[in-house]
Amino acid sequence: MGIWIGDARKFDELREENERLKERVAHLERLLKASGESIDLALSPSERALVLDGRKLEAVKAYRDRTGVGLKTAKEAVDAVG
């Protein structure tokens, strides 16, 4: 029985953390919108050229450096081009 109670507590903790993170993301979205700035997640011409030249790893690194996204997101963006 104790295992289930521990799981229920962990579930509640995760749910609360998820709610806090949602609120944080919403706050950051409002700040970004209010600043008038935007983040362009499309590949830049130089990143696209790297992909087309067969230099995908360099394109992923350049994309990550420019956008600040994680490795998985950058790889998906580069793979979508070619």
CA atoms within 13 A on the CB side of 21: 6
Nearest to 76 by CA among 45, 42, 49, 46: 42
Nearest to 81 by CA among 51, 36, 54, 60: 51
How many Å apart are CA 64 and CA 76, to the nearest integer? 11
Please classify residue 75 by burial: count the beta carbons closer than 10 Å to its beta carbon, then call 0-12 exposed, 13-18 middle and 19+ buried. middle
Average pLDDT of the chain to the nearest whole number: 88
Which pLDDT belongs to residue 5?
A: 74
Q: Where are the domains of the chain?
A: 1-38, 40-82
Q: Please, which pLDDT band fits residue 38 given cuts at 50, 70 and 90?
A: low
